[in-house]
């Protein structure tokens, strides 16, 4: 985030650090069935997810022509690739011949994408460029149409698709947030590791867990709790998306410094929800994307893919040890504390013992996220 955008937020946070009071908006509630009812999940798929852009990767995932990553969580297998002309493409990972998976690795770089079944070959933009024994396939034009292409938009280091055949790309509505990603793109420039979570909980619980610092002093008392100002978060909504700023204890140092030199990244965790279900976190020196995918029919099941991106630089024993420790803290905190608690919450909500969840005035980002969902549901 640029200094001029960060200054008013930092001033607000410093005021609250000084008084020890949280930044409060208003208390809200959400009915418990929204986390457990299959009909409600079906409505969310129709109103919240269908036709919506979803983050498929970052520009740094496909740094050069021929670079690709494969994605298997959208109900149709996808390839995100960089064409010879430098453009990003999203392709159905389905061979035009007999439907086999063309690329089977998670990521790589190839001049030609060659199906392992009969060696039909495609350029990185999906054009069919070769096949053995073409005489036997008089209907197949080469070069000609190859893998089916889906809508794609690459902006500010982010790449979105609409993971549906024939869908068009709506406006991304990133608003002033777009500038944040541009400015911060230099932080996460090397993909470091991917981790998949298969979770027994509703997709919203996964997003919810990132949206307040009220729990830090309790659930995270032995991990990240001591790093953050307890019970203090600032949140704003931009279109359907939102940005939350969680202040680190070091933010107090800024009170004595020239505001023109303030760097919010050093003194916060910045949490963005790219609506509906991607959480993008800037954690001082690295970026995490949490791509959350609800089950097609079961409201109590979710797949989440975590990608961890680190700054470019020499890969040394000490740099890798540093990222390994960062990774461990992330996993220890989110998997073993947040998601463990959320799995318990899903069981609690499914028990029928609670009619509604309550979001405190001190949990403003939660209220904004659920407002966005309600807006989509009622559209």
Residues that bind Fe ion (CB under 5 A): 338
- Give yes or no for a contact between 238 and 176, defined as CB atoms under 8 angstroms apart: yes
**Cα dihedral angle (281, 284, 285, 288), rounded to 10 degrees?**
-10
Shortest CB 339 distance to Fe ion, Å: 9
Dist. CA 158–CA 364, nearest whole Å: 26
Closer residue to Fe ion in complex, CB, 288/338? 338
Shortest CB 213 distance to Fe ion, Å: 8
Three-state DSSP string of 323-339: HHHHHHHHHHHHHHHHH
Q: Which residues pair with 149 in a beta bridge?
A: 91
Closer residue to Fe ion in complex, CB, 91/269? 269
Closer residue to Fe ion in complex, CB, 307/338? 338
Q: Shortest Cβ contact with Fe ion: which residue?
A: 338
Dist. CA 286–CA 288, nearest whole Å: 7
Shortest CB 249 distance to Fe ion, Å: 16
- Backbone φ and ψ of 43, nearest 5°: -65, -40
Shortest CB 123 distance to Fe ion, Å: 44
In three-state secondary structure terms, 229 is strand
Pairing of strands 190-199, 158-161: unpaired
Closer residue to Fe ion in complex, CB, 147/247? 247
Shortest CB 334 distance to Fe ion, Å: 7
Closer residue to Fe ion in complex, CB, 69/269? 269
Closer residue to Fe ion in complex, CB, 338/363? 338
The strand order across the sheet containing 113-114 reads 113-114, 121-122, 128-130
- Give yes or no for a contact between 241 and 177, defined as CB atoms under 8 angstroms apart: yes
Shortest CB 286 distance to Fe ion, Å: 17
């Amino acid at each position: 985030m640029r200094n001029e955008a960060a200054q008013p937020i930092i001033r607000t946070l410093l005021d609250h650090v000084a008084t020890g009071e949280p930044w409060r908006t208003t208390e809200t509630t959400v009915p418990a069935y929204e986390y457990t009812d299959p009909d409600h999940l079906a409505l969310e798929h129709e109103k919240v997810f269908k036709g919506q852009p979803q983050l498929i990767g970052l520009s740094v995932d496909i740094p050069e022509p021929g670079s690709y990553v494969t994605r298997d969580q959208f109900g149709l297998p996808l390839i995100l690739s960089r064409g010879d002309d430098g453009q990003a493409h999203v392709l159905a990972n389905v061979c035009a011949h007999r439907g086999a998976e063309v690329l089977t690795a998670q990521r790589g770089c190839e001049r030609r994408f060659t199906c392992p079944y009969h060696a039909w070959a495609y350029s990185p933009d999906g054009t069919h460029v070769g096949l053995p024994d073409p005489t036997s396939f008089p209907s197949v034009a080469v070069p000609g149409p190859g893998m089916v292409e889906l809508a794609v938009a690459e902006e500010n280091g982010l790449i979105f698709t609409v993971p549906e055949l024939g869908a068009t790309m709506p406006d991304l509505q990133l608003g002033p947030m777009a500038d944040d990603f541009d400015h911060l793109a230099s932080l996460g420039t090397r993909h470091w590791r991917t981790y998949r979570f298969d979770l027994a909980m509703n997709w919203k619980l996964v997003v919810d867990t990132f949206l307040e610092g009220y729990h830090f002093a309790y659930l995270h008392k032995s991990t990240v709790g001591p790093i953050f100002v307890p019970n203090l978060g600032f949140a704003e909504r931009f279109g359907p998306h939102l940005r939350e700023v969680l202040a680190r204890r070091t933010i107090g140092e800024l009170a004595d410094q020239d505001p023109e030199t303030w760097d919010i990244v050093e003194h916060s965790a910045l949490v963005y929800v790219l609506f509906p279900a991607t959480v993008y976190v800037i954690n001082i020196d690295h970026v995490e994307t949490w791509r959350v995918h609800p089950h097609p029919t079961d409201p109590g099941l979710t797949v989440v893919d975590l990608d961890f991106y680190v700054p470019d630089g020499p890969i040394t024993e000490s740099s890798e040890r540093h990222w390994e420790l960062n990774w461990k803290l992330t996993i220890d905190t989110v998997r073993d504390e947040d998601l463990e608690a959320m799995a318990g919450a899903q069981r609690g909500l499914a028990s029928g013992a609670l009619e509604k969840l309550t979001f405190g005035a001190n949990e403003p980002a939660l209220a904004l996220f659920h407002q966005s969902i309600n807006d989509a549901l009622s559209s």
